[in-house]
Amino acid sequence: MWLDQTVDLLRDGYVFTARARRERSSAAAAQRPRYAVTVRLLGRPATVVGGADGVRLFYDSTRMRREGAMPQAIARPLFGRGAVHGLDGEEHRTRKRMFVDALMDRERVDELLELADGLMVEALQEWRRRGGGVVYPTATEVYGRAVIRWAGIEVPPEVEARRADDLAVIVDGFATPVMPYVAAWRRRVVCDRWAAALVRETRSGRRAAPEGSVLARVAAQRGTDGELLDVHTAGVELLNVLRPTVAVARFAAFGAVALAEAPEWRRRLADEVAERGSAVGGPLATAFAHEVRRVYPFVPALAAVATRDTEFERCPIPAGRRVLLDVMATNHDPQEWPEPSTFEPERFLGTGAEWSAPFVPQGGGRPESGHRCPGELVAVGLLALTCARLAELDGRLVRGQDLGWSWGRIPALPRSGVVIAVDAQPSVG
């Protein structure tokens, strides 16, 4: 306990908590907890929890808070200063209501998905002309351009693509030492200034934001004091709609890997598109997307701070201690997920498992009332339509590429970005 393990966390990434539990259990009594383990990070003890019971504890607002839980060195480049992620109580509920109203409205979300699907179809047509493409950068640009337009931000296409790349760099480097981290901070500064300018122009009337759009909502958002959010904070929250949407491109790359490894599901998804006449909202594609989010690495852990003395699996957690929810272990808990390492989308076909306690790909609970990302419908919808479109594409993985990823690199991504070859089609006319 007196040895700080921050360097180990940076080195081990997603497997840090698993190794910590294994090392502790080898020297502990036979009755030690299954999930609870205490480590020392940034000079202070932190307790790791997991499983369904750990999720319930972690999201119990009477025992946990979010304010001050995430180290600022990570939170600032990723979420931005003053973001909703670090709020609690009425202030959190008031701020999050804006995101829920904008991102949990199925009619509005469907508009975004249809827009993204149209852009994805255009991108894959370009693949056919070129003889192939790379999933990750393609999804990054498609998602970025779609969400910028959907948010009510009218800018030239080249600006859409540039901002999509900026946001992808922020996600790529926020938890990685040295150069990627520096790059993430540089893009954060650029994006903060851009978003603040959009809010300022909207409030002054120099920019027209469609009624009900994300830009319009953010520009008009008020705090618990009844005052408009300051321009910087409003811009930060605008980016907290755009950035997570672009981040889903990482799941798209893993989804392409899953399709290649599960050819029967590729056929099922392609048949579903043909039968429905649409790649948006298919039940099979949605179940496939959920299983991609359960199996493949994205968020390694979430942080909270205990507000009063409590315990988990006989492990004391004093007030003021940082608590980490082990996301990977929870999504692979053998007591909750039979054969957890097996990729099986049937788990999510009409079962409601996507709202269960042990499923925490991007936070737990309901987005409306808990801390799960309110962009749940957006993330799942984008990933599902992308997997569906890739399934119907007559493509194949390029041989020799590196589809592996580093468990120590947060966030993870297949090293090749997933390169797919497609039989080139001659242009018409």
Which structural domains are found in the chain, ordered by start?
6-422 (1.10.630.10)
Percent of the chain with pLDDT over 90: 71
Residue 300: name the closest of 139, 417, 175 by CA: 175
pLDDT tens across 17-73, in order? 888 887 766 544 444 447 899 999 989 999 999 999 999 999 898 999 988 888 888
DSSP secondary structure of 239-250: HHHHHHHHHHHH
CA gap 295, 345 in Å, rounded: 10
Query: What average pLDDT does the chain have?
Result: 90
Alpha carbon of 423 to those of 7, 139, 394: distances in Å? 47, 20, 8
Q: How confident is the model at residue 91 (pLDDT cuts 50, 70, 90)?
A: confident
Q: What is the pLDDT of residue 429?
A: 46
Which is higher by pLDDT, 137 or 98?
A: 137
**Three-class SS of 321-334:** CEEEEEHHHHHCCC
Q: What is the pTM of this model?
A: 0.93
Q: What is the pLDDT of residue 67?
A: 83
**Who's near 186: CB < 8 A, 6+ residues apart?**
none
pLDDT tens across 74-84, in order? 888 888 887 77
User: Is the confidence at residue 188, as pLDDT, over 90?
Assistant: yes
Point out which residues pair with 47 in neighbouring strands.
38, 323
Q: What is the pLDDT of residue 426?
A: 61
Alpha carbon of 201 to those of 193, 208, 219, 231: distances in Å? 12, 8, 9, 10
